[in-house]
Amino acid sequence: MTNRLIERVSHAGGRPIPDAATGEIIGHTREDSAAALEAMISRGVAAQRSWAALSPHARGMTLHAAAAKVAEYAEELADAVSREQGKPLNGPGARLEVEACQRWLHTNADLELAPEVLVDDAENYSELIYRPVGLVGAIGPWNWPLMIMIWQIAPALKIGNAVIVKPSEYTPLSVQALVSVLNEVLPDGVLQVVVGGPEVGAALPAHPAFGKIMFTGSTRTGKAIIKASAQNVTRLTLELGGNDAGIVLPGTDVRKHAENLFWGAFINTGQTCAALKRLYVHESQYDETVAALAEIANATPMGRGVDEESLLGPLQNRMQFAVVERLVEDAKARGRRIVTGGDPAPELGPNFFRATIVADAEDGDPLVDEEQFGPVLPVIRYADLEDAIARANRLDAALGASVWSDDAQRAREVALRLEAGTVWINKHGGIHPLVPFGGIKGSGYGLEFGFEGLKATGVPVVITSR
């Protein structure tokens, strides 16, 4: 199909953007200069004043209209992200991503932050309110380029900010397409997109005009943002890298949970920050679990994202492909057992790597200790639950974790001891627009989603009288 949104934002003479699955050029992106960013900042600062002057209800109605526009263009947005990012249209893929954009817009549109009364007695009346920070810089990743950008855009707009988004240089066209759709209903200048490489992204946290920077991506880049923003004491929300652990408790009906275990790890072909990336299984059920996961991996169709039957797609770029290949080759060299997969699938395209289950992995293996961010799951055997909990908690990455058991009370007891921003029971990676989400330790700080996420895009102010 001809994608009119890609055609709308494609820039003749700009940098070519390939289809992640085939390498064919799907469009060309502009590359913005420092002067272009300064002009956007000026427009955003001016537009923010009148946007903030509207009532929260009026801003919410505009966000509902924006969600309706996303629905109107849903198939073209899904096609754009499927081609550019590589994720399949179906399953937990591109269509789901576009649906999530609508859901987060609608949810944030309806959130209202009423003044919070802190003290009300004869001597003191104090209340907490939230004001917009002014201009928000939103820096997004390439794995869920539309959905994660909406996570940042929706609350920032609802509270009365203007937003300048900076997409990954790997997935700029789909984000420009999304912004163009939203801007069919938003006031001019309230939402803009700046496009370019790392130097453009670095300019946002260093600029004093931004009251808030929101970033989803690697811990290394997150640390650079902290350093760049320090001079301006800019407020930050950072959702950084994850290396999520899961623990299967003894006595669990593994076959019942196998499908959820698999998709907890392989959603978006493993390219998800809060995916299951290392699985600890009790020795009494180890072989059964490995066999069940391998069976699903072998039965799950992999192919080009726009092919309706595909449920797994390619790695988005050659850089990430090289990371996955290196980690799997290292596992082979260490004598780890490749149960299924373990090599590229060049017959499908240049960036495809087969869904891979690695058994007999050990803590200390690069495949276990590093975030693979691809279609590979190492499965680690344990004998003692205390040891498994300690091993799950030993890394600095602490975005998510999961416990798998048919004993709800026992699962909760273990969940309370895992060090992660979110701990799931009998699922992994599921999110809700009203449930706060964020990392701890090296996986960042600050919360997104719901009332906590809305507050994070504002400035808290205490008003005291009497």
Which residues are catalytically annotated? 239, 273
8 Å CB contact between 43 and 35? no
Torsion angle in degrees (nearest 10) through CA of 263, 268, 269, 275: -60
| Structural tokens at position 175 | 């984000």
Answer left, alpha or beta for residue 429, where phi above 0 means left and psi between -120 and 50 means alpha. Answer: left
Answer left, alpha or beta for residue 324, where phi above 0 means left and psi between -120 and 50 means alpha. Answer: alpha
CA distance 305 to 93: 9
Q: What is the 3-state secondary structure (H, E, C) of the chain?
A: CCCHHHHHHCCCCCEEEECCCCCCEEEEECCCCHHHHHHHHHHHHHHHHHHHHCCHHHHHHHHHHHHHHHHHCHHHHHHHHHHHHCCCCCCCCHHHHHHHHHHHHHHHHHCCCCCEEEEECCCCEEEEEEEECCEEEEECCCCCHHHHHHHHHHHHHHCCCEEEEECCCCCHHHHHHHHHHHCCCCCCCCEEECCCCHHHHHHHHHCCCCCEEEEECCHHHHHHHHHHHHHHCCEEEEECCCCEEEEECCCCCHHHHHHHHHHHHHHHHHCCCCCEEEEEEEHHHHHHHHHHHHHHHHHCCECCCCCCCCCECCCCCHHHHHHHHHHHHHHHHCCCEEEECCCECCCCCCCCECCEEEEEECCCCHHHHCCCCCCEEEEEEECCHHHHHHHHHCCCEECEEEEECCCHHHHHHHHCCCCCCEEEECCCCCCCCCCCECCEECCEECCECHHHHHHHCEEEEEEEEC
Query: Looking at this protein, which amino acid is placed at residue 427?
Result: K
